[in-house]
Structure 1
Amino acid sequence: MEHPIMLIDMQSFFASVERLYHEIPSHRALIVSGAPDRPSGVVLAVCPRAKSRGIQNGMRLHEAVERCPEAAIVPPRMQRYLETSLHITSILEKWTNLVEPYSIDEQFVDLRASIFPSLQENPSASARGIQQNIFEETGLHARVGIAASKTAAKTACDLFAKQAPGGIFLLSEEKIKQEVWPLPVDKLFRAGKKMTVHLRNRGLQTIGEFASLSHLEVRRRWGIHGQVLWMNAHGVDYSPVQKHSAHGKRSIGSGMTLPRLYSHPRELRTVLLELTEEVGFRSRRRGLRGSTVTLGLQGPSCGFHRQRKLSAPTANTSLLFEEVLELLDEFWDLSPVQRVHISLSSLETDLDFALHLFEPPEKQLQRRELDFVLDALREQYGKTALLRGSSAGAGSQALDRAKKLGGHLR
């Protein structure tokens, strides 16, 4: 293989990190749950031993305990996972300058940028060396998919390396037809449930049957999305491994699962204001503003995901919250809510602040200045140094969220 690209995937990452930290024996099943003391909690991550007992991510904790009562149950610590992920990045950067984080537990590696040209000659041996290096420094096991493109490397890792002896699989161009094409079409990378149903309804049951169509026919029937899937089926991906590609932002959002069902408008507005404040703060800190606000609510008997285009791009908390409230009033039917999410998209840099004609300039400038003063105080003294009066009332989650990272305890 002339230009090998690897996807490094950490095996059962959250559970493995917790096992090492808590020194839980390898023979004992382990479950990571956001609320270990609540039977209604949800399973976030499990080790292979727990998986063998039928426990899956997203399962209710009480059901998982029934299947494996002897399992150790621990809460997630996102800060620990982030620090470990960054440590793994630093290990990979000893092998090559081109390392692209794909997720918290997956990273692409391009050996062409290595200071050791010989690493490209035997990518499987290089993968074993990387695995050993990671294990020696972290105690964690890595699986490696190797191919000529990022998409093919991801396919190699997800579909084959996880079952391969040693956790390494090299997917050559010839092997794509031999190994990938006979698989069911739902195994195609990024196919999605709806697209899978659509392809099957067209009589396309395997990846190979879809790949055998001409690219012109695929483009005519399914547009650009279909063309990308067709390229995935052939292992074609022209995107390079980029060191800083994870830094780009399409949107900035914040959401949470509520500790109980919320049905009172005042309580729900309190939480939505706190989330809007977080979105505004993060946008301003990155020097960004946006022109599309999205609100999502989910409950046992309701759910919607709606967005509104702003008259002018902004990162101001008050203006964003006005739009959030309009979406809430228009689409919420007062059914109990369990999960909420807010995001700001259509982002642009906030370097050139332009006044608009529909409000006095003094008020616009005061609002902008107030945002940055509050941001500075919170940066220096913490997020809870200044709270709105509504956060002292029922339904507020500001103090609880300040103790967490990514929705979980730090």
Structure 2
Amino acid sequence: MPKDRVIMLSDCQSFYASVEKAANPQFSKKPLIVAGDPERRSGIVLAACPIAKSYGITTAETIREALIKCPEVIIVRPHMQRYIDVSAQITEILRSFSDQVEPYSIDEQFIDVTGSRTLFGGPIEIATAIQNKVRQETGVYVRVGIGKTKVAAKIACDLWAKKNENGIFTLTPELLPSMLWPRPISDLFMVGRRMSTHFYSMGLVTIGHVAQLELAELKWGMKQKFRKNCDIDAELYWRIANGIDDSPVNQHTHEVPPKSVGHQMTLPRDYRTLSEIKTVLLELCELVCRRCRRHKVNGAVVSVGARGADFDARTGFSRQSVMSDPTNATNLVYEAAVALFKRHWDGQPVRSVGVSLSTLTDEDQYQLTMFESRPRLRELERATDRLKNKYGDAIIGRAASFTDSGLLKDRSGKIGGHYK
């Protein structure tokens, strides 16, 4: 791995809101938020444009709170498919500068331009060119953090590029003692509020306090604090504080086969009867098994979880069992899930249900039986998968999904819980 690596993190400013403004130029100079349900004035703020933020509006607050701060704010419901399409468009723009691009989230992407400098110039020139091209083709403004490692680029973007007038900042190893280390430990990437409190109680108030400790001493201190071995966590924080990160920019990072496949649904109301809940379990098993079939794996362990709507008096359970044979057949997993649910459900109303499969193995390795034709069943399910992939989830479904307790129709119009 070259020592003179140049890694960038491209981050889209107020991504959802920026995409909406690009699609609606009449809103360009007005405060705008993307939020749950504008008509009912309910839900939370998913994104706020810089103008809306100037009124004090923040993400994760309710629409009602946002309206108090800025009564004239424009509220737009999310269009998830549009955001996915623009994110993919930005990926292709970045690939015109380097073949090493790694999506980090829907609005953040790493790009290794080490080998691109002879074509496009120095890091600042490349970052500026990226900004201009993305703005011109999508209407979205990106900030760019630059470093020798991915973690340094991420920190450069979060702590400085997002606040700079030109949206670009380079964090070199030489700048760590003067720029990064004096900052509070809560500013360190991967350190949340709870971990910050733990570090404060250990006397580690700044990022430099962690970075300048001997690694063995930090491991010992965290072990004393948490009463367990924390060597991996300690080394992670120490390496981040020192800007150390050996991982390459890898476009295939998110293609690693999963260790488990699961899906959870929050229900629109309390489900009180077993027949209603069985409909949801069937839909969940269909979703989980479909993903397993896409990854060409079978699952041996099925897990089922449920909870009620009262967060003050929590009810529910999470249990798992081993099936007789690994499978990704919906009906077989459904039978096991229903049996597991009936065994542990206390009869209380349910507002959330989840199903997952784990202990995954290659789907071509399975036990033959005398009483069923797995190849025939597999072909039938793959045929329905192809229909759903081509025409959408609602093109074909189980009869139960079209009853009052089914969620297929509503879910098929959403991505990530939000309407497409």
* Cα separation, partners in 2 of 1:191 and 1:323, compared to 1, 3 Å: farther
Per the alignment, residue 362 of structure 1 pairs with 372
Query: Aligned-pair RMSD on alpha carbons?
Result: 2.7
Matches of 1:147 and 1:207, distance apart in 2: 18
Correspondence 1:181-260 to 2 at 5 A = 181-220=181-220, 221=223, 222-250=230-258, 251-260=260-269
Out of 29, 35, 51, the position equivalent to 1:33 is 35
Rounded Cα–Cα distance in structure 2 between residues aligned with 1:303 and 1:57? 29
Letter in 1 for 2:98: T
Q: Give me the whole-angstrom Cα distance separating, in 2, the residues matched to 1:192 and 1:332.
A: 35
1:337 Cα deviation after fit = 4.9
Partner residue of 1:78?
80
Unaligned runs of 5+ in 2: 224-229
Deviation at 1:198, TM superposition (A): 2.5
Aligned pair in 2 of structure 1 residues 333, 204: CA closer, same or farther (>3 Å)? farther
Match of 1:282 in 2: 291
Deviation (angstroms), 1:334? 5.5
1:409 to 394, 397, 419: 419
Separation in 2, partners of 1:330, 1:188:
45
Q: Are 1:388 and 2:398 matched, yes or no?
A: yes
The residue matched to 1:41 in structure 2 has which SS? strand
Structure 1 residue 41: deviation in Å?
Answer: 2.0
- Do the aligned residues in 2 keep the contact of 1:300 with 1:336 (CA within 8 Å)? no
Match of residue 171 from structure 1: 171
Query: Deviation digits for residues 158-201 of structure 1, max 9, x if unmatched?
Result: 11111112111100112222222222222221123443333222
State the Cα distance separating 1:132 from its structure 2 match. Answer: 0.9
Following the alignment from structure 2 to structure 1, what is the Cα–Cα distance between the partners of residues 242 and 24?
Answer: 44
Asked if structure 2 preserves the Cα contact closer than 8 Å seen for 1:355 and 1:361, the reply is no
Question: 1:348-359 alignment to 2 at 5 Å?
Answer: 348-350=361-363, 352-355=364-367
Give the alignment's TM-score, normalised by structure 1.
Answer: 0.88
Q: Could you tell me how far apart the structure 2 residues matched to 1:182 and 1:329 are?
A: 56
DSSP-derived class of the 1:164 partner: coil
The residue type equivalent to 2:399 in the other structure is G
Rounded to whole Å, the distance in 2 between the matches of 1:377 and 1:104 is 27
| Pairs within 5 Å for 1:329-340 | 329=342, 337-340=350-353
Q: Is the 8 A contact 1:292 1:307 kept in 2?
A: no
Superposed displacement of residue 370, structure 1: 4.2
Per-residue deviation at 1:91? Answer: 0.8
Deviations along 1:269-310, one digit per CA (max 9) or x if unpaired, are: 322321221121122123233344454555342377846353
SS of residue paired to 1:166: coil
The 1:118–1:383 alpha-carbon spacing in structure 2 relative to 1, beyond 3 Å, is: closer
8 Å CA contact 1:253, 1:344 repeated in 2: yes
Give the 3 Å change call, closer, same or farther, for CA 169–398 of structure 1 in structure 2. same
Query: Aligned partners of 2:28 and 2:387: how far apart in 1?
Result: 46
Q: Report the equivalent of 1:103.
A: 105
1:47, distance to aligned residue in structure 2 (A): 1.3
Gaps of 5+ in 1: none
Aligned residues between the structures: 405
**Contact conserved, 1:28 with 1:71, CA < 8 A, in 2?**
yes
Structure 2 vs 1, CA of residues 31 and 153 (structure 1 numbering), >3 Å: closer, same or farther? same
Partner SS for 2:27: coil
Is the Cα–Cα contact under 8 Å of residues 181 and 206 in structure 1 kept in the other structure?
yes
